[in-house]
Each structure stands twice: as structure tokens, then as C-alpha cells.
């Protein structure tokens, strides 16, 4: 047990050592690419037809009059200390704004991952169990169609069907606007509002997971140890879950970890469509208002989350497969 823990800690340190330069690259690229976009945030702050003197004062207050390299070094130094600056539009610390919106995005993303992973694994195992049959073909076709449908189209169809036509679920928001619930009623209210956004997000990851689970399970079922287990009289369910699935789970976990970034990107569009008060809307507002500090901070924060999730996925895979602990 002690050797395993030491190995996992060493692996974690190695992965984070690789991840830090990646985060630094994200900070650098985000900082410069955002500032290459057309538009002047000082004009948005100054309002309509500002005087040259007032415009110069606004640029000086936010450091926009400095050379871009000076701005970059200053931003990098502050970011290393956890200071992402002040939002130009909101006039508040960037990290405070991000931290206020992150719980809503985390809730939506985590629920979507749980739903998508569970259903995707079950469908993939079912398809592998009946490989070459109509069940396999149907799941494969459905997975391909679900993977090909863009999130924004799925979201609008769900709103039209379940919110507008059937009036079964709310079309947007995280809670009811007219009634303030508490306790269990608040949880149930949030649960009703989260259904459509979760379905929209989970569909993509579920189909992706199902396809990779099927491929990994088909490969595992062809291995010699499965034939040995069957020869010893193991039941089909035992062979499927106790012998084949543990050998396929590493591939499945890797795919889910890699797709976490795509899920966050999809969450931005999904949150805007459903009015979910998470980072998605914050991204949109920052882009629309040319809020450099807020947009840069949000990009860095989400990129760091994706990198951390992938590092933890590597450690999880090493725990599941001893061959990956080297």
C-alpha cells in the first residue's frame, strides 16, 4: 500500500510538472490573442463620444496606455500571486466574479458527466455484448447521429418540445424567478431547471463514451483470459463485468477525461441558450464588452481546470492499470 501511494504521488508530481508549462502557454496565447482582436475597451468604458482627455485617463487607470509587453509582464506577475486584475465592465476582481459563477457551471458539468458516463458505458457494454446484431447496429447508428448533432440545435429542439409545446420543464434559468424556494423545494426546483441543459450536454459525451466503450469491450472479450473464464464455467454477466470490463475501463476513463474540455466548451453555448448563471454567460459578456482582464482570467481558469482534470485522469488510470505506473 505504501509503495502504491508513493508511486501515485510521484506520478502526480510528474504530470503537474508537465502541466505547468501548458498553463503558462495558455496564459501567454490568451493574453496576446485577445488583444489582437479589433476594438478598444477604453471606448466602451468611456461611453459615447468621450473627450480625448477622459479617454486617456481611462486608459491610464487600467494600464491600457502601456506597451503590450509591459502589460503582459505585469499581468503575469500578478497572476502568479492569484491576482487576475479588475474587470473593466463590472469593476470587481476577476477571480471573485469567476468564483461566483463557477459553482453553477461545476454543478451542470458534473451532473452531465455522471449521466453521460453511466449511460454511455451501459450502452457500450450492451453493444459489445451483442456485437454484430441489430442491437449493436442500432446503438452504433444512434451514437453516430447523437455525436454529429451540434449542442445549440439540440438545446433549441428540447426547449421547443418540452418547454414550449408540452410545458413540462422550464425553458431557462437555474431557479424560478417568481417564487423563492428553500430547503428540499429549492433542490427540486434546481433539479427541474437542470434537466434540459444536462441532456443537451450529456448527449455528446454519452455517444462518444458509448462508441469507445464498445470498441474497448469488443477487444477485451476477444482476449484469452475471457476464454479461460468461460471455460471454467463463469456466467455471461460475470465474464462481462468481472473480467472484460476492468480491462476496458482504462480506455473509457481516458476518453472521458479527454472530453472534459469539449464538455466545458459546450457548456458555454448551453448556458447562454438556457440562461444558466455560470461561466458561459460570463464568457459571452466579457467577449461582447471587450473586457480583457475578465476574458483572460476566465480562459486561464477553465484551462487550468481542464489540465488538472486530465492530470487526475492519468493518476486514476495508473491506479486501475499497474502498467501505467512507470
Residues with Cβ within 8 Å of 78's Cβ and at least 6 positions away in sequence, in order, are 84, 85
* Spatial distance between the Cα atoms of 326 and 322, rounded to a whole number of angstroms: 8
Note the pLDDT of residue 119: 92
- C-alpha 145/C-alpha 128 separation (Å) is 19
Q: Tell me the pLDDT of the chain averaged across its residues.
A: 81
pLDDT of residue 49: 65
Quick: pLDDT tens for 70-89.
888 888 888 777 777 788 77
Mean pLDDT on 241-248 = 82
User: What's the distance, Cα to Cα, between the start and end of the chain in Å?
Assistant: 16
Distance CA 10, CA 206 (A): 32
What is the average per-residue pLDDT within 137-161? 86
The pLDDT confidence band at residue 238, using thresholds 50, 70 and 90, is: confident
Confidence of residue 227 (pLDDT cuts 50, 70, 90): confident
Residue of higher predicted confidence among 323 and 20: 20
Above pLDDT 70, what percent of the chain?
A: 91
- How far is 47 from 50, CA to CA, in rounded Å? 6
The residue ranking higher by pLDDT, 109 or 91, is 109
| Listed residue (228, 321, 320, 310) closest to 12, CA to CA | 310
Question: What is the Cα 75 distance to its own chain's centre?
Answer: 26
**Residue 170, pLDDT score:** 87
Looking at the domain 95-325, which fold is it?
A: MetI-like fold (1.10.3720)
* Per-residue pLDDT tens digits for 51-61: 777 777 777 77
Higher pLDDT, 3 or 92: 92
pTM of the model: 0.82
Q: How confident is the model at residue 123 (pLDDT cuts 50, 70, 90)?
A: very high
Of the ranges 109-113, 222-226, 275-279, which one carries the lowest mean pLDDT score?
Answer: 222-226
pLDDT at 156: 87
Q: Which of 14-18, 100-104, 192-196, 267-271 has the lowest mean pLDDT?
A: 14-18
Number of helices (H), then strands (E), in the chain: 14, 0
Any idea what DSSP says for residue 50?
A: -
* Structural domain spans, the chain: 29-83, 95-325
Amino acid at each position: 500500500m505504501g509503495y502504491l501511494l508513493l508511486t501515485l504521488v510521484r506520478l502526480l508530481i510528474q504530470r503537474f510538472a508537465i502541466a505547468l508549462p501548458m498553463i503558462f502557454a495558455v496564459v501567454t496565447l490568451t493574453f496576446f490573442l485577445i488583444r489582437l482582436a479589433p476594438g478598444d475597451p477604453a471606448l466602451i468604458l468611456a461611453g459615447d463620444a468621450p473627450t480625448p482627455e477622459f479617454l486617456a485617463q481611462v486608459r491610464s487607470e487600467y494600464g491600457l496606455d502601456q506597451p503590450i509587453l509591459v502589460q503582459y509582464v505585469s499581468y503575469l506577475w500578478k497572476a502568479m500571486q492569484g491576482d487576475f486584475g479588475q474587470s473593466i465592465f463590472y469593476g470587481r476582481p476577476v477571480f471573485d466574479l469567476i468564483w461566483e459563477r463557477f459553482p453553477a457551471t461545476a454543478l451542470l458539468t458534473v451532473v452531465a458527466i455522471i449521466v453521460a458516463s453511466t449511460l454511455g458505458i451501459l450502452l457500450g457494454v450492451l453493444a459489445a455484448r451483442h456485437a454484430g446484431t441489430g442491437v449493436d447496429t442500432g446503438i452504433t447508428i444512434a451514437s453516430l447521429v447523437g455525436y454529429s448533432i451540434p449542442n445549440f440545435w439540440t438545446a433549441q429542439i428540447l426547449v421547443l418540445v418540452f418547454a414550449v409545446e408540452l410545458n413540462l420543464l422550464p425553458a431557462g434559468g437555474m431557479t424560478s424567478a417568481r417564487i423563492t424556494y428553500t430547503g428540499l423545494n429549492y433542490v427540486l426546483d434546481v433539479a427541474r431547471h437542470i434537466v434540459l441543459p444536462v441532456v443537451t450536454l450529456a448527449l455528446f459525451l454519452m455517444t462518444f463514451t458509448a462508441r469507445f466503450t464498445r470498441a474497448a469491450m469488443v477487444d477485451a472479450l476477444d482476449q484469452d483470459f475471457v476464454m479461460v473464464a468461460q471455460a471454467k464455467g463463469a456466467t455471461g454477466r460475470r465474464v462481462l463485468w468481472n473480467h472484460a470490463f476492468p480491462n476496458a475501463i482504462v480506455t473509457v476513463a481516458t476518453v472521458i477525461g479527454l472530453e472534459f474540455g469539449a464538455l466545458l466548451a459546450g457548456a458555454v453555448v448551453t448556458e447562454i441558450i438556457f440562461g444558466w448563471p455560470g461561466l458561459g454567460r460570463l464568457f459571452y459578456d466579457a467577449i461582447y464588452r471587450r473586457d480583457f482582464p475578465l476574458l483572460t482570467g476566465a480562459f486561464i481558469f477553465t484551462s487550468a481546470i481542464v489540465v488538472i482534470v486530465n492530470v487526475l485522469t492519468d493518476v486514476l488510470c495508473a491506479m486501475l492499470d499497474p502498467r501505467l505506473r512507470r
